[in-house]
Amino acid sequence: MNKNEIKTEEDVVRLLPDKTEFEKKVLVAAFKIPRGKVSTYKRIAEKVGKPRAHRAVANALHKNPLHPVVPCHRVVKSDGSFGGEKKAAEARRKLVEKEGVPIENGKVKMSDEILF
- For the stretch 21-73, pLDDT in tens is 999 999 999 999 999 999 999 999 999 999 999 999 999 999 999 999 999 99
Catalytic residues: 72
**Consecutive H or E run containing 103:** strand 103-104
The domain made up of 3-108 is a member of CATH 3.20.20.80: no
Strand blocks (E) in 8-99: 39-40, 75-76
Residue boundaries of the structural domains of the chain: 3-108
Task: Choose among 67, 71, 93: nearest CA to 80.
Answer: 93
Q: Give the separation between CA 30 and CA 44, rounded to whole angstroms.
A: 8
Burial (Cβ within 10 Å: 0-12, 13-18, ≥19) of residue 60: buried
| pTM check: above 0.75 | yes
Read off the pLDDT of residues 68-78 as tens digits, 9 standing for 90 and up: 999 999 999 99
Tell me the DSSP string of 89-100. HHHHHHHHHHTT
